[in-house]
Structure 1
Amino acid sequence: MNKSVDIIIPTYRPDESVVYLIKKLLKQTYPIHEIHIIDTETGIFPKKLKNLSDKIRISKIKPEQFDHGGTRHEGAMQSHADIIVYMTQDAMPVNEYLVEELVKAFDNEKIAAAYARQLPNSKCNVIERYTRAFNYPEQSRIKSLKDLETLGIKTYFCSDVCAAYRKSVYESLGGFEEKTIFNEDMIMAAKIIQSGGLVKYVAEAKVIHSHNYNCKQQFQRNFDLAVSQVEHPEVFQNIKSESEGMRLVKNTMIYLIKIKKPWLIIKLILQSGFKYMGYCLGKKYGQLPMWLIKKCTMNQRYWEKMD
């Protein structure tokens, strides 16, 4: 019997690209029961979205209500599907087989989560293009508790840019944390693996998704990453992520030399320095005044709720 699938997409100021995304999802080979768009109200929303299909459901929330974990969890609690697929509004399916490839992973009853490969868009810079290839290789992989020795923190890696979850397991583990700065996907993957379940990286399921972050944005994102790790010691306390970051930097340097663009190493070192500074400061966020935290974070609203 086919597993039923719902897709949940949080949106903020959606434009025509979201209309295109929904059209691509409606053409998937695997039948989708419902596409639930959870829109943060800003007054900007393409009217044509509502009329694309009767499979589309639109919910509205206030900006102050949005939370990376909580909003997605609320969407899950409103779903009756066997499989929940989360996507971001800037992720674009490469072809019509995205959902089919993700759902295939769940033929293995022990797999509770599966996430897609992210490919760079046409405007992606050289360094970020390599980072995508580093984090999302051509080979699929199933991850379990035994991989901690070799993969370290990447054992728990998962991305809600495009990820699917077995609803029954998701619920049994309590779902996403309802208050998270971000990283709800990785925290959930850790819960799954620590409980004896499996997480699959599905290289055959592909989306176009990348960012050309500047140094300030790299700093802010890694500040928030560190905050999420400090707030969840049950997942991250005994696992170091710095070594994985160093491996990425070294491999990127080798790649830049190989493609005869060694001058980009200066940019790489600068960006990596900002990443590391943001990460180190985020680890000590509890010692920082709120005004400074708000300068360092990418997620202002998370901290405004604490004031």
Structure 2
Amino acid sequence: MSIAENSNILISIVIPVKNGGRWIERCISNIINQSLFPLSEIIVIDSGSTDNTIEILKKYSVQVHTIQPEAFNHGLTRNKGVELSTGQYVVMTVQDAWPADKHWLQKLLDGFTDDLVAGVCGEQLVPHTEEFSPLEWHVPQTDTKVKRYHFNTAAEFQQLTPNEKRRAGSWDNVTAMYKKEALINIPFEETVYAEDVIWAVTALKSGYALVYNPTAIVYHHHFESEEYTYNRTLLGLHYRHKYFGTAYREATPSRKLLRLKRLLFSGLPPAKIIFWLKYYFNKRKQARAAHKTFTSLSLQRTDTRINGVGFGPQKNGM
């Protein structure tokens, strides 16, 4: 349903895209099937797609706005989506994610239980399909409790332990809904990575409340090149340390064993199992290399070096 058909837009869904022809139809069609979609609009910001993304989008009642590839920025591009939105609430997601059920938007909206809540974040999971690595398939959720975080002062947040800060501020723009007013008051920063986490920490320090609903699920998975894994890990370590004070955590032996068992008993053909094993070990190799780089730098040099690392076209729009 377009704005012309319904001027009572409650929710604006912003999706940055680039060369998303492989995934975008799955994303859009599952959003259109949402129970709240009649009160919603979809705003796509395309940063120079050269595949069939635009042709696919023409099949749907979505707003498509184009920017130059070099103008893309994880924070500023999403701010552009907020400027274009007409809803009271703004949802952020990505081109290769899709809602797990038709009540995704409703579950996010239900989290706005009081005036202090600025945003509600869901959870992204890897579905159990042959398209994705069984090593990363999600396990059944054991904790589906909705959690609310609020601090009266910035100092109160700063007094938390690193892990407490991480739990409160591990925001995720793959599945998040915001009050538009909050995004106007605290826009996303210009950054190559972690615009969502930076925003969440700033919002918490500013007196807003944030809500996490693990049942507001989208399915999402990145097939990563070695370069992408290295850069993503390095940037993640930097921002995790900067905003939470936490360090790299290697998976426990029991967790690694569980992943391997999941792969071996996945029912996939032997060739596929070997493929995903190689993929997994290459990712671990690059993650360890990034950790070694990070720990070898002083914090001052880290700020200089890491802020220059970008994801390039693989990350753009995802």
TM-score range for the pair, normalised by the shorter chain length: 0.7 to 0.9
Cα distance, 1:286 vs. partner?
5.0
- CA separation in 2, counterparts of 1:220 and 1:212? 14
Return closer, same or farther for 1:281/1:38 CA change in 2, 3 Å cut-off: farther
Q: Which position in structure 1 is the counterpart of 2:104?
A: 98
- CA separation in 1, counterparts of 2:263 and 2:314? 43
The residue type paired with residue 15 of structure 1 is G
Return closer, same or farther for 1:287/1:159 CA change in 2, 3 Å cut-off: closer
Q: Secondary structure at the match of 1:85?
A: strand
Matches within 5 A, 1:246-265: 246=250, 248-249=251-252, 252-253=255-256, 255-256=258-259
Cα distance, 1:43 vs. partner?
3.1
Return closer, same or farther for 1:214/1:271 CA change in 2, 3 Å cut-off: same
Select the residue among 167, 172, 184 that pairs with 1:171: 184
Say yes or no: does 1:205 pair with 2:213. Answer: no
Say yes or no: does 1:182 pair with 2:193. Answer: yes
Q: Which position in structure 2 is the counterpart of 1:192?
A: 203
Which consecutive unaligned segments of at least 5 residues does structure 1 have? 303-307
The residue type paired with residue 55 of structure 2 is K
CA contact (8 A) 1:181 1:228 kept: no
Return closer, same or farther for 1:67/1:301 CA change in 2, 3 Å cut-off: farther
Q: Which position in structure 2 is the counterpart of 1:125?
A: 133
Which consecutive unaligned segments of at least 5 residues does structure 2 have? 1-7, 265-276
Q: Which position in structure 1 is the counterpart of 2:77?
A: 71
The residue type paired with residue 253 of structure 1 is K
Matches within 5 A, 1:21-32: 21-30=27-36, 31-32=38-39
Q: Name the structure where helix makes up a greater proportion of residues.
A: 1
CA contact (8 A) 2:21 2:56 kept: no
Cα distance, 1:213 vs. partner?
3.2
CA contact (8 A) 1:223 1:297 kept: no
Cα distance, 1:272 vs. partner?
4.4
Superposition RMSD in Å: 3.5
Return closer, same or farther for 1:47/1:65 CA change in 2, 3 Å cut-off: same
CA contact (8 A) 2:104 2:217 kept: yes
- CA separation in 2, counterparts of 1:10 and 1:242? 30
After superposition, the C-alpha distances for 1:157-215 in whole angstroms (9 at most, x for unaligned) are: 11111211111122122x101x2011010011111111122211211211111224355
Say yes or no: does 1:224 pair with 2:235. Answer: yes
Q: Structure 1 stretch 65-74 or stretch 143-152: which is displaced more?
A: 143-152
- CA separation in 2, counterparts of 1:23 and 1:228? 34
Q: Which position in structure 2 is the counterpart of 1:305?
A: none
The residue type paired with residue 73 of structure 1 is N
CA contact (8 A) 1:222 1:279 kept: no
Say yes or no: does 1:38 pair with 2:45. Answer: yes
CA contact (8 A) 1:222 1:278 kept: no
Select the residue among 32, 41, 49 that pairs with 2:57: 49
Q: Which position in structure 2 is the counterpart of 1:277?
A: 292
